[in-house]
Structure 1
């Protein structure tokens, strides 16, 4: 492939996809300053590829042009600075946050330890199929916007519009929520200081990290995720010791709390109530696919990162929550106060305190604070990239697509950062109502995103076969195959049905409009966005036999790619069983 990133002709036409390499274009046609300050200032100027894409968009008419939108997302000048180690840690620990450390307490309280494991296990299986489907798509098409772009490309531009804004709104809401959660963890040590002070400090920290671009995000997530992984592994070891009776208070615990007060709470309805909590805990796992567009060599690094998700689901969620269910009874009064912004209700902290261990609860609160900051950091990253891709496709205001010479989606970062200032509502008496309704907007967002990824993979495989391609041409194939995507789509639909039941007939109260919309608001919002864009742009469903399978592919020399893949597979067959098993799972 050419060393030159994007070629722009004298007529100002769109950049040519065929000359794209694996490095980000940073404006080589523009004069370069000779001073450090000058280069810093110049980095904020518009990228020339962004300008060319903007001119392409202005020349389009009212109707949505799928081909043109696909080209712009394929040519996105986002910086490709993420390395393999960044993706590995994002995959292993990137989304571990309040969903695991805090909200698992609410799930334990409402459903009991058995419901906790069953719901997290089902969502884990669903997510395993989703991430592998996404990995296959992202290796073939490492384009800006990932899942929303795939929905536009393989299903319907109107559905892509709806999924893109659904995902962007999810992270817009999560950012201020995580800022407040981080500030509340500090009150464990400094209860007299106003939360707004800590909100301001954390907001500045996260914004600065993201202004360093994708490299800043990658390095921060590498450190944050490493700390979270070490903490969870440490808790698992400690939990085994405590369950066996090795704590300061002594006494064998075993499965005592599974018998009294019991394994289930509120029966089948209690189990259904845990699904959305589990989905919230796993949300962010799909960021691996979003990061593919900013990875230097996605064909080499992305498959390994996708495989790591299995270990995160098994080790960090299933094993850790099994121990939580053994160490903390679901009748604990402290669990009943669990919420998305209440770190003191963490079952991890409660388990340690119940064992009579001093000092460690403070350490666990530090880990929770770091986990919350990590999710806040991911919020800015995920939302800014999604907004930029929507703008590139012509599905959002053009200014949101602004990408500077350093490859940063500057407008998206600024808009997300400004929305984060909603965290200062924590100083208002109306804090609870505001955040409940904000959370309602994002409650089901991940379910829609994951279901859409599975549907995109199904349609992609149909198109791939109909257009004469074979699976041997794929650098990475989803372990679960297209059958896994059908299973994942079915499970997503079943979770939506279960949540609808809980929304209409909530646990402990009579049916009412407030509880329904706080549990199910995301669904009508997605439908309204889809219908609005469908009518406005008069979009059509994409036919598998006609959809574009060329634009955006990083590997365009198919014969050379097939030859390289066959050589890699032949070399792997020569290795021993243990090495082949390791490569399959890692």
Structure 2
């Protein structure tokens, strides 16, 4: 009986087979690789075969070779058919959105910000920048859900602003991650000095270098799983610290000392006046960098229309609890004049205000646990650096803004040349053996020091241009699967605030704290990234000899590159979801609005 049932082919099963056949026909492989004889071949041979390039479908290749097709149409075709592997699940994307930017900027950088700006500067500056991040990521979510293409914001900037702008932003963002990878590997090795280990840092650097690259060589699923675990550890650590912070503030720790708002009275809520607070704004932007990676993952999501909105909504909770909450605790628990906040280097875990707060509370053992969390966070950022850089390079290549080799996608969906470039730059981590390591990385990071601010600005501007094009062409927002909670006004506010941050950064870079006049060295170490982005932009303008490349609003093709969805079916699904939500209670509707 069971055999006869299993042998039957139901309409559903035949439909499933046709869907699988349709999907598998998009990208073909060479016959030896796809044949059943592959099972008898050696494991090594099959592993080598995974590095072979995925073949572009014949019909797509014919379209690309059509002499009548425009450059914009070619660019959109290459982006749409970039054969990245769609193996990221909703839990991966939610956790990447939740914990992708929790790293040294929060755990260690907040210490220097506390000393520079004072206790009140932490919750104030992080709240303002947090709102900017919230508006920016919701704008990115609206764009990436509609256009889930490789590279996300770089491709959006090219489409909705102009190619030279997308070129400058894409390469500036690439430089950021190329510089971050070796820096984070060194930082991870230096966190081990917290335990006074006698092992040479070069040994740890070697281990971490191989570890980070290996994760990315196993494909996007391995990256997603690794980030899921890393982010889960960071989230649990922050939640634990929030609970512990409340206990310590109320005097419930081993030291039994009630803290309350003591440090807001002595030494006071602010340090170094407005310039000190301005410096903290820059640190806050850096610490929230990486939030935009959730947009990059849209091209490799199993179902971007379902997964991405859910992940985007997690940004609100991360900002409220993990940044505003934890930094408010820090401002109450750690004296801004504490000399331990100075540290010996950018990865000195003993200078972390989180570690100092636990030590002040008289709790033994927990500082080591927090240091381990910091090390994991640093490795997580290094892991994201390889992922973000390689995918951005693939997008730039597909747009014709980078060498063609970077759009080489192998059979596991890896942009292998982008990963190789990361591996090459990653070798700079071995400068840890040099006495000039700090100087090398100060200038290396200066090349892309403003990358986060510029990238977020491009996202906001792209969203504004997208909404303007929708209005100019009489298109309705009802056709969008996800609409930004803050709308176009959120993007305008975000763009204005980011321009303010750029102005403040210019001021504190040229006239740093403690300097009586202009400091050229400090300026270029902190503002060179803006100069580099401008050089990229003007350089491409001179190369193509076109002063204005922006497409008029009414001529922007809003359908090309869109996610392949049945618009009628999408409208029906959205109406059903709205009707179902309207029937629920107020608190549930509020919950779904933010989650």
Q: TM-score range by the shorter chain?
A: over 0.9
RMSD (Å), alpha carbons: 2.3
Q: Contact (CA 8 Å) 1:280, 1:446: kept in 2 or not?
A: yes
Question: Which residue of 2 is the match for residue 570 of structure 1?
Answer: 579
Name the structure 1 match of 2:467. 461
SS in 2 for 1:113: coil
Q: 2:255 aligns with which of 244, 249, 256?
A: 249
Q: Is the 8 A contact 1:88 1:308 kept in 2?
A: yes
Length-normalised TM-score, structure 1: 0.94
From 87, 94, 98, the counterpart of 1:92: 98
Name the structure 1 match of 2:315. Answer: 309
Of residues 137-146 and 532-541 in structure 1, the stretch that sits farther from structure 2 once superposed is 532-541
1:278 matched to 2:284? The reply is: yes
Contact 1:123/1:278, CA 8 A, preserved across alignment: yes
Structure 1 counterpart of 2:246, from 231, 240, 256: 240
Aligned residue in 2 for 1:447: 453
How far the C-alpha of 1:29 sits from its partner, in A, is 5.2
For 1:371, the equivalent position in structure 2 comes to: 377
Contact 1:67/1:548 (8 A) holds in 2 = no
Give me the whole-angstrom Cα distance separating, in 2, the residues matched to 1:180 and 1:243. 34
Counterparts of residues 502-581 of structure 1 (less than 5 Å)? 502-509=508-515, 510-539=517-546, 540-581=549-590
| Distance (whole Å) between structure 2 residues aligned to residue 225 and residue 50 of structure 1 | 37
Q: Is 43-52 or 142-151 further displaced after alignment?
A: 43-52
- CA separation of 1:568 and 1:169: change in aligned 2, threshold 3 A: same
Look up the match of 1:110.
Answer: 116
Looking at structure 2, the residues matched to 377 and 465 of structure 1 have their Cα atoms a distance apart, in angstroms, of: 40
- Deviation, structure 1 residue 339: 4.7
Extract unaligned runs of 5+ from structure 2: 1-14
Q: How many residues align?
A: 572
CA contact (8 A) 1:84 1:301 kept: yes
CA distance in 2, matches of 1:169, 1:223: 27
> Equivalents in 2 of 1:442, 1:162: separation in Å?
11
Partner of residue 28, structure 2: 27
For residues 197 and 210 of structure 1, the distance between their equivalents in structure 2, rounded to whole angstroms, comes to: 21
Q: Which residue of 2 aligns with 1:421?
A: 427
Deviations 1:387-431 (A, max 9, x none): 111111111111111110111111111111221111111110111
Q: How high is the TM-score relative to the length of structure 2?
A: 0.92
Shift of 1:583: 1.0
Distance in 1 between residues matched to 2:541 and 2:309, nearest whole Å: 35
Q: Distance in 2 between matches of 1:97 and 1:47?
A: 35
CA contact (8 A) 2:64 2:77 kept: no
**For the Cα contact (< 8 Å) 2:29–2:54, is it kept in 1?**
no
Distance 1:3 1:393 in 2: 34
- CA–CA separation in structure 2 for the residues paired with 1:59 and 1:26: 20
1:25–1:79 CA contact under 8 A, matched in 2: no
Q: Superposed, which structure 2 residues align to 1:205-354 within 5 Å?
A: 205-337=211-343, 339-354=345-360
Call closer, same or farther: CA 1:270–1:64 in 2, change over 3 Å.
Answer: farther
Q: Is this contact kept in 2: 1:5–1:25, CA < 8 A?
A: no
Deviation at 1:333, TM superposition (A): 0.5
1:12 matched residue in structure 2 = none
Over residues 469-500 of structure 1, what are the superposed CA-to-partner deviations in whole Å (9 max), with x where a residue is unaligned?
Answer: 10111111000000100001001100001111
| Greater Rg over alpha carbons, structure | 2
- The verdict on how the C-alpha distance between 1:235 and 1:431 changes in structure 2, with shifts beyond 3 A counting, is same
- For residues 507 and 133 of structure 2, the distance between their equivalents in structure 1, rounded to whole angstroms, comes to 22
C-alpha displacement at 1:25, in angstroms?
5.4
Q: Does the aligned pair in 2 maintain the 1:404–1:410 contact within 8 Å?
A: yes
Indicate how the Cα distance of structure 1 residues 172 and 24 shifts in structure 2: closer, same or farther if over 3 A, else same: farther
Q: Residues 5 and 179 of structure 1: is their aligned pair in 2 closer, same or farther, counting only changes over 3 Å?
A: farther
Q: Secondary structure at the match of 1:334?
A: helix
Taking a change above 3 Å as real, the CA distance of residues 55 and 397 of structure 1, as seen in their structure-2 partners, is farther
**1:583 aligns with one of 584, 587, 592:** 592
Q: Is contact 2:26-2:57 (8 Å) kept? A: no
Structure 1 unaligned regions, length at least 5: 8-18
The offset of 1:2, in angstroms, is 11
